Structure 1
């Protein structure tokens, strides 16, 4: 037992980064995922757990295995990378999880963005269940500004409606900041990520009003009612709804892939994780700023400084702080979650 593991006899258990990764490796290997998928998925899940993004961390392993057992993902899929145009790279994930498809396509995306100023990576036929900010941070480390988005399944009602139609459709954005941590945001166009409602259900907690409605379209605080019979709601009413529709279009039909409602129909009620596409746009400031790139990038620092001078928090600061703490102290998991994950190895 390592020094990073504590509280093993109580209600909580503490694991270090290496132990988290080893646990992911054991689960995924046990269920037949190929080594490249094991590595790519584990990296994304551990990054989320270490950064305090619990809704995209280890608890996702249960959904991964359930989706595999439902026939909803190909555990040994080999992504195919296509040089589709001077500024476009496409990756056919072949029904596998998106993490490996992104890793396979990212080098060509970076190369095209730096050559042309802007480039697009379109991932098709993937199962997506990890945080977009993991991918965005990878691109900002190359000095690129990046945007990513994807549909999901029809979990959310459009503003003014009451029936599930749109996906939770996350949007992520990243801005490099030299040697410092990038400015990154990643949020669902729903009032809250679906995974957060799942966590409330696991813990037996009610959800706040405004997150979802019941089967009659009435406000509900019951996570099971919202997830299984009702619908989630968009953030910002018509604004979140419009952004969700935008994501449906540009990360669905535009790249030759599914709408959220089509992903739901594809699932046929099995309850698998969403099968769809993903769109990533990368932009190179060195090509777009018209010279004196460093000077122009420093103007963004003025903006960030003025935000903080007002006492406001920049997006992603909480995640970086959590990462620093967890790297020093490990991550504390509930014993119930730890035991559920360990059952997947048996």
Structure 2
């Protein structure tokens, strides 16, 4: 059994409505504008429902830190423009990303459905959410979609010893039947920084190969890792993918790299400034008369993966968690106490 479903003495069960209300009310109490607070609450609730704990209620601590530090614009609303009919831009105006994403993704879907392919660049945003949630609406609309963003500058290049890249996640989605698309979202580092933070909070060691300390030596201590650098997954392959994300979510769209973002940081526990790139393609653009057959072929491929003992599709665990969460989610009591303390 997944240990997140079993009652524990150090956990509290909350309904998803409770999670949403707690997130929204905490952000409002910190002084964040209502549209932003509502969008972030929706993002946090989705992550908590899918048992993505590193992007759920735990993220409230960093969101509130950034609001209180004055780094983030509390009230500024994102502005959507079109560079061309298929290239969309959103100026997030140094606000948090979720509201900018909710503002722009419907226009991305419309453009991709109309012209077959479209791209969306979100600028000057503080991104702190999970990428799978950013692209899921586009994939549910029948599009294949990618998303990229830089992260906190804490990852050394393969063979290096000092932070240069962000965790630089990549997400991809493919439309599936019955509202269950194929989706994956992973950092190009061996683990997301949030996972390392959760290990530190729990007093647990890191697996070998996740990180190095400030001296460049391998470490399994989360605090030492956070003072040193995380490592890319897969050695030079993950490092190359991370550099690709730096380029296409930074210079390509006219935004900052992870290193440049670090120079703008104020030391709070919130997200860095950066950009986000979406690409969406309508499979129907390659011949609508064969669309059904092509989608069926993709489903056959998925079935063949699942038919192999021990194999699973990346999305399956998330959907199972989502179904369980209809009865509520378990939140560590210590984390809940920290969040409640924010409101005092």
Query: Which TM-score bucket, shorter chain as reference?
Result: over 0.9
RMSD: 1.4
Q: Is the 8 A contact 2:190 2:233 kept in 1?
A: yes
Q: Is the 8 A contact 1:27 1:344 kept in 2?
A: yes
Secondary structure, aligned partner of 1:18: helix
**1:30: how far off?**
0.4
Partner residue, 1:296 = 294
Equivalent-residue separation in structure 1 for 2:236 and 2:275 (angstroms): 24
Partner residue, 2:178 = 179
Q: Is the 8 A contact 1:72 1:273 kept in 2?
A: no
**1:72: how far off?**
2.0
2:240 aligned with 1:234 = no
2:68 aligned with 1:46 = no
2:317 aligned with 1:318 = yes
Equivalent-residue separation in structure 2 for 1:132 and 1:333 (angstroms): 22
Aligned ranges 1:114-129 → 2 under 5 Å? 114-129=113-128
Equivalent-residue separation in structure 2 for 1:270 and 1:174 (angstroms): 32
Partner residue, 1:286 = 284
Aligned ranges 1:161-310 → 2 under 5 Å? 161-227=160-226, 229-289=227-287, 291-310=289-308
Runs (5+) with no aligned partner, structure 2: 1-5
Secondary structure, aligned partner of 2:109: helix
Moved over 3 A (4+): 268-272
Deviations 1:123-165 (A, max 9, x none): 0000000001011111111111100010123210000101000
Aligned length: 338
Equivalent-residue separation in structure 2 for 1:41 and 1:248 (angstroms): 25
Secondary structure, aligned partner of 1:146: strand
Secondary structure, aligned partner of 1:156: coil
Q: Normalising to structure 1: TM-score of the pair?
A: 0.95
Deviations 1:161-201 (A, max 9, x none): 01000000000000011324000000000000100000011
**1:268: how far off?**
4.6
Q: Is the 8 A contact 1:91 1:105 kept in 2?
A: yes
Change (3 A) 1:322 1:35: same
Q: Is the 8 A contact 2:31 2:67 kept in 1?
A: no
Equivalent-residue separation in structure 1 for 2:97 and 2:179 (angstroms): 27
Partner residue, 1:12 = 11
Q: Normalising to structure 2: TM-score of the pair?
A: 0.96
Secondary structure, aligned partner of 2:200: helix
Secondary structure, aligned partner of 1:206: coil
Runs (5+) with no aligned partner, structure 1: 1-5
Bigger CA drift: 190-199 or 268-277?
Answer: 268-277
**1:291: how far off?**
3.0
Equivalent-residue separation in structure 2 for 1:68 and 1:252 (angstroms): 24
Secondary structure, aligned partner of 1:184: strand
